[in-house]
Amino acid sequence: MNNLNNTLFASFKVLLYFLIVFGIIGVLAIFFIIPNWIRTEEVLVPNITGESYYEAVRILGEAGLQPAKTIQEASSDAPKGEIVSQNPEANFRIKSYQPVEITVSIGAELVPVPSVIGKSRDAAFDTLTSAGFRPNRVAFVHSEDYLQDTVIAQTPPEGGGQRRGNPVNLLVSRGPRPQVVQLPNFQGQLAANVVAALEAVGLKIETEYSSHPKIPQGAIITHEPVGGVMVRTGDRILLEISGVQGTTANISRPLPFTYTVSEEGKLSRHIRIVIIDEYSERIEVDQRYAPGTVIDLEQKGIRVFGKARVIVYEDGEKLPEVVYR
């Protein structure tokens, strides 16, 4: 029984000591710690927006403040490492132990420049504007490969990383350089040879057919303008051919073929179009074109003789061929 009483008395003494210690701590908190916490000096938050990160930390330190966790975000206006916002805002009073949240710019968001090669000038402007870029200067040059008013090149080039709003300069085709030639007299010559020669200098050909008692089938009866007249690239030449349209051999005809470049992605694709007809096998297109560009061979003035096969290669991949009879 005495042992039990001794144990209870010892436990009571320990509990009493704990109560005394906690009581002392409570008194100190009430009379010293809490009043000091309440009376902590408030400081004016300095303006650090627009400063570099390290300069902002220095300014906060001089004011007796510390930065909170840094938040980073893209900004099209502020350069990389610049403070774009703060919380609390400048001139707001806070306790010196309160942290200041700061947001740091990681620079402008960089986006790839879309390809506009092969597009018309208006379509190129629309594509660049939709992607957030600004069409800038436009230069013109003659080209044998691209139609008039078609984009040949661009700077900055396609792809890469550029800031939205940056300017893009364009080089636009004026079409083939005009040539002035004196038209020979083609009467009696085979139409197939004449058409090939005239198209080689950029002349547009129209044909009509009629019977003639002396001039053989497939030869030129007459033409307008007549021989001796000066003509230039783009002029139209009317050929009257002996025979019946559709049955006259070796007479060329326009090729009503169009191809739309794959619209996937923003980078240009290399397009090669091969034509095989009764006249020859030849490459008519061998250039880069922007996604979605429509290539119209009839608009380019391509003509074929007899049965024709058209083979398209896009970035080296052969596509199913098209046959015209």
For residues 133 and 167, the answer to whether their CB atoms sit within 8 Å is yes
Helical (H) or strand (E) element with 82: none
How many whole angstroms separate alpha carbon 276 and alpha carbon 308?
6
> Tokens 């916002």, residue?
85
How many whole angstroms separate alpha carbon 176 and alpha carbon 202?
8
How many whole angstroms separate alpha carbon 249 and alpha carbon 238?
18
Per-domain residue ranges for the chain? Answer: 1-39, 42-105, 110-173, 180-252, 255-324
Q: Tell me if the bond preceding 35 is cis, omega within 30° of 0.
A: no
DSSP 36: H
Q: Following DSSP, what letter does each residue of 281-301 receive, concatenated?
A: EEEEEEEEE-TTPEEETTTTT
Note the pLDDT of residue 38.
52
Note the pLDDT of residue 95.
86
Please, which pLDDT band fits residue 33 given cuts at 50, 70 and 90? low
- Point out which residues pair with 252 in neighbouring strands: 305
Please, which pLDDT band fits residue 254 given cuts at 50, 70 and 90? confident
Q: Tell me the three state secondary structure of residue 130.
A: helix
Dihedral sign for Cα 56, 58, 61, 63, please: negative
CATH fold for the domain made of 42-105: Trypsin Inhibitor V; Chain A (3.30.10)
pLDDT of residue 131 exceeding 70: yes
How many whole angstroms separate alpha carbon 60 and alpha carbon 47?
9
DSSP 246: T
Please provide the CATH number assigned to the domain covering 180-252. 3.30.10.20
Q: What is the pLDDT of residues 260-284, one digit of tens each?
A: 999 988 889 999 999 998 878 999 9
How many whole angstroms separate alpha carbon 76 and alpha carbon 163?
8
Report how far Cα 211 is from the mean position of its chain's Cα atoms.
56
Taking every pair of C-alpha atoms in the chain, what is the biggest distance, in angstroms?
Answer: 152
Distances, alpha carbon 120 to alpha carbons 132, 188, 274, 296, 306, in Å: 18, 41, 23, 13, 32
Q: Give the mean model confidence (pLDDT) for residues 49-73.
A: 88
Q: Tell me if the bond preceding 67 is cis, omega within 30° of 0.
A: no
Nearest alpha-carbon partner for 305 in 258, 234, 267, 253? 253
DSSP 320: P
pTM: 0.61
Q: What is the pLDDT of residues 211-251, one digit of tens each?
A: 888 898 889 999 999 999 999 988 999 999 998 765 544 56
Q: Give the mean model confidence (pLDDT) for residues 69-76.
A: 73
For residues 143 and 178, the answer to whether their CB atoms sit within 8 Å is no
Please provide the CATH number assigned to the domain covering 255-324. 2.60.40
Note the pLDDT of residue 163.
86
pLDDT of residue 77 exceeding 70: yes
- Bridge-based pairing of strands 308-314 and 269-276 is antiparallel
How many whole angstroms separate alpha carbon 55 and alpha carbon 182?
77
pLDDT of residue 29 exceeding 60: no
pLDDT of residue 287 exceeding 80: yes
Domains 180-252 and 255-324 share a fold: no
Please, what CATH class does the domain formed by 110-173 belong to?
Answer: alpha beta
